[in-house]
Amino acid sequence: MLHNITGIDHVLIGVENLENARSIYESLGFTATPRGSHIGWGTANYCVMFEEDYIELLGIVDPSLETNGLDRALGERGEGLLGVALASDDPDVTYQSLSEDGLEPSELLVLKRKLELPEGDVLPEFKLIRLSSSAGLTAKNLFICHHLTPEIVRRPEWLSHPNGAKYINSVVVVVENPGEIAPYYQRLCGSINVTLTDNTLTVRFGLGSLIFVNDRDIDLLFPGLTISDEMPSLPHLIAMTVAVEELDQTAQFLSEKGIKPQKIANGTLRVNPTQACGLLLEFTAG
């Protein structure tokens, strides 16, 4: 793929109560890592790790410290999807390539966070590149991430999930005009990975996709979904689909936990946002 972008690295979900969110996602059949925290900030996280990508539950644990805008986002929009990080296997090459192509990346940022392991705290390290708002999302909502210490954040026992989850299949973003941002993604990852159909834009990144739709056509993606008249200001990250080993196994697990997902005609299982920290969560066969 162009610019050494290899797939989706992770998605971020903003939550009101971090410990409660961990319990909710464990009840949905996800295995959570030990807690992590952001050095010098008042935010912390739990992650749900897959082989190639992961879900980050992000919450405020000390409101007296910097929250990087999470307090404002929760106040304005409530819980739900905050952003998407794409993966690069060589961030320095990616930065140079994006710059040469006129895609206006941010400077490379090197960050650390603390991960609280039973044997003691460790410090995973990352390199980040924030992308231009021409991507249909703000620079805070869409960025590129490279793990400098992947062995710290991916232990075998964290990769097995009772619900059979394997990877992030797609993230859906509501924007005003999906067609307007298609040229950006054609330059970012190549025209072969970009499809515009009926004003729905699908951008393929490795195993996963970003899907952009306008609020008038959202029901084409999610038949039967009731959308509130109070749609947050756009862009709005609304949904995530996770691929699983066996949908019947996932359905059985959820049923045993007292969760009754809606079964869509194609077999997909849909969990109400009230049961998934504000985002529309779907499970599909992987």
What average pLDDT score do residues 20-34 get?
A: 98
* CATH of region 2-158: 3.10.180.10
Dihedral sign (CA 28, 272, 270, 278): negative
Please check the confidence at residue 226 and state whether its pLDDT lies above 80. no
Question: Residue written as tokens 């929760």?
Answer: 74
Please check the confidence at residue 21 and state whether its pLDDT lies above 90. yes
DSSP string, 186-235: HHHH-GGGEEEETTEEEEEETTEEEEEE-TTSHHHHSTTPPPPS-PPSSS
Q: Please write the tens of the pLDDT for every residue from 54-69.
A: 999 999 999 999 999 9
Alpha-carbon distance of 66 to 85, in angstroms, equals 21
Q: Please write the tens of the pLDDT for every residue from 246-282.
A: 999 999 999 999 999 999 988 899 999 999 999 999 9
Helix (H) or strand (E) holding 81: strand 80-88
**Lowest-pLDDT range of 198-202, 216-220, 280-284:** 216-220
Helix (H) or strand (E) holding 92: helix 91-100
- Whole-number pLDDT of residue 138: 87
Please check the confidence at residue 53 and state whether its pLDDT lies above 90. yes
- Whole-number pLDDT of residue 227: 59
In the chain, residues under CATH classification 3.10.180.10 are 2-158, 165-285
pTM for the complete prediction?
Answer: 0.96
pLDDT band at 220 (very low <50, low <70, confident <90, very high): confident
What average pLDDT score do residues 227-231 get?
A: 62
The CATH architecture annotation of domain 165-285 reads Roll (3.10)
